[in-house]
Structure 1
């Protein structure tokens, strides 16, 4: 293992030496050499960063059809194209499967790994193995409180309890009294923290409702049944953008007057805000999470930088309402917000 770490340090030193030599010679950013590893350039048509090809993998807890992670990947791919990085992605809602993916990337000797810690116990050993193998790790989105102890360079995302508290305060401002907090993935610590945060600051009552997040018709039916049995429920808080639409349908089916609000933002949520079908959304900037994670690993390898200085880098929360729609529509249409 020591031999492997020595080899990795040697490769890093070689990358830095090459970059310095290119700068001293006044070479172009691409090094004046075409390569099959050269990344696709961004719209500006600029050249690459002049650093050796890297391979960075991301493993998340995304379930099938979760558009949030499309936006995360969009940011990661943009940074990868800029930094001459081959970006690899894998996802599974099962913690053990996520850990196995991390192990596969360790075995493939990637240059960096990005992971989520929605289920930290399942991921703990795999992350520690990556760090022990000399592979830098950055955590994103979930499990900020576990990141440093597992040896990750930094965590990028929002502080989930604080985000939940912000939602509770917003519900208070709106004069709401009884809320349902919809958890679409049981065992996900970040989702539980959000609902706990809502309960902490909301002066009304909050009840958690667990639904089958990978089965949207089932989720909608569960929400509708809850609204039918609880006519005094005046607020539904969903923890992911796709569940806002399901809640709107459930509300209509139940004949409820509850206000629908949601965590996370996408093009559909912005349209729902504009149509006043939902009251507000909580934006944690997933594009930024993906972009900064890839860029952070590139900076660490090429210049020994640590984004955030070892402390979490916060990308949210921000409360988004109808008045914010004009400033966001073009970005959500592009799939970057």
Structure 2
């Protein structure tokens, strides 16, 4: 009975924590609104304009600076492709600044964008303690800013994320169910990144929720060869635990970690060990669908769709329209057991995962006309 009461208490705390995050987002988003419209949902908050006339500020080519913390892996490359695609459709120009995981360099790039008097700035990842002073300068200079997966909290700056708490919980819940709430697992994780630290909050609660699931190893680092480094570390761990049943599953809350773990497990012939990840790209999807792949589940958003959404919010800001200060993108659970036997791409995923890559947030009626006006 004591354990039951403790479990109920833990679940209540986690529920209140996640609910608090959601309520805070709603409150901040409403605070960030201007004008008289009072949208009834987060999705409606991002659709403020009712006019299909192209705003005057957008009748000239828009210059956008996209400042990224890193460009590791296929998720990042597909995200950047989404940014470029949407800016180009709107007739604008985008300059990508990759900071190679150097936060000081990232802040410097924001300063460069301000000095170049760009029309808008996109920020991908980064930490507030490094970026806030530069971002405040941009806001003071009248340059709209939209950030992705960042802990920035500056009035007027829209911050979008992938709802990292839901991402982590969906994959972890699947893991627990598949191993019947009991077994040894490996956790691949690295600190220093806002989304990773949010996912870790749920992981720590998960361990208390499932006391018979034991973490026997934890490792991980972010580098230019993260997947390869992870593969080497996982190979060493498999030698340490050579028997079937020593390891039930791996939780890898970044697709680069999941790729490395999956390849190590495949090469060792230990496919009884299942991998549960976060994030998805075309490369990841092919790896999941490979015969006898241990990568079983991932929870993700479409990275290209994230990039397109971020650009739409930025153009709304440039047009003078209201945007939410905080917006969470709805993630989707992708289970390889529900996918067809033939290999599919991300473009086909919507046929099997309802709602995949179909976000209509951040749209205004004039966007269609702007795209038409800039068709080449």
Measured in 2, the distance between the counterparts of 1:328 and 1:150 equals 43
Corresponding residue for residue 68 of structure 1: 75
Q: CA deviation at 1:52?
A: 1.5
Measured in 1, the distance between the counterparts of 2:157 and 2:219 equals 35
Q: Does 1:210 align with 2:220?
A: yes
Q: Does 1:272 align with 2:287?
A: yes
Counterpart pick for 2:309 among 269, 292, 304: 292
Asked if the contact 1:99/1:123 (under 8 Å) is kept, the reply is yes
Counterpart pick for 2:263 among 249, 253, 261: 249
Change (3 A) 1:152 1:139: farther
Unpaired segments of 5 or more residues in structure 2? 1-50, 350-355, 358-376
Counterpart pick for 2:185 among 176, 179, 183: 179
Corresponding residue for residue 102 of structure 1: 110
Corresponding residue for residue 88 of structure 2: 81
Change (3 A) 1:270 1:113: same
Residues 288-297 or 234-243, more deviating:
234-243
Corresponding residue for residue 193 of structure 2: 188
Asked if the contact 2:168/2:253 (under 8 Å) is kept, the reply is no
Q: Does 1:159 align with 2:173?
A: no
Measured in 2, the distance between the counterparts of 1:241 and 1:180 equals 15
Give every structure 1 segment of 4 or more consecutive aligned residues whose post-TM-superposition deviation is greater than 3 Å. 252-257, 323-328, 330-334
Change (3 A) 1:253 1:152: farther
Measured in 2, the distance between the counterparts of 1:125 and 1:328 equals 47
Q: CA deviation at 1:55?
A: 0.8
Q: CA deviation at 1:152?
A: 4.5
Partner of 1:67: helix, strand, or coil?
helix
Change (3 A) 1:189 1:330: closer
Measured in 2, the distance between the counterparts of 1:205 and 1:317 equals 27
Measured in 1, the distance between the counterparts of 2:282 and 2:147 equals 26
Q: Does 1:123 align with 2:131?
A: yes
Q: CA deviation at 1:208?
A: 3.2
C-alpha distance after superposition, 1:92-137 (max 9, x if no partner): 2111111111111111111111113443322222212211221111
Corresponding residue for residue 14 of structure 2: none
Partner of 1:150: helix, strand, or coil?
coil
Q: CA deviation at 1:228?
A: 2.7
Corresponding residue for residue 4 of structure 1: none
Residues 83-92 or 196-205, more deviating:
196-205
Asked if the contact 2:74/2:283 (under 8 Å) is kept, the reply is no
Partner of 1:329: helix, strand, or coil?
coil
Asked if the contact 1:179/1:235 (under 8 Å) is kept, the reply is yes
Asked if the contact 2:281/2:303 (under 8 Å) is kept, the reply is no
Measured in 2, the distance between the counterparts of 1:139 and 1:197 equals 23
Partner of 2:93: helix, strand, or coil?
strand
Measured in 2, the distance between the counterparts of 1:263 and 1:322 equals 13
TM-score by structure 2 length? Answer: 0.67
Q: CA deviation at 1:240?
A: 2.9
Asked if the contact 2:229/2:260 (under 8 Å) is kept, the reply is no
Corresponding residue for residue 317 of structure 1: 331
Q: Tell me: higher relative CO, structure 1 or 2? Use CA pairs within 8 A at least 6 residues apart.
A: 2
Unpaired segments of 5 or more residues in structure 1? 1-19, 24-28, 32-48
Q: CA deviation at 1:259?
A: 0.8
Measured in 1, the distance between the counterparts of 2:269 and 2:276 equals 17
Asked if the contact 2:172/2:276 (under 8 Å) is kept, the reply is no
TM-score by structure 1 length? Answer: 0.74
Measured in 1, the distance between the counterparts of 2:296 and 2:281 equals 15
Measured in 2, the distance between the counterparts of 1:178 and 1:304 equals 51
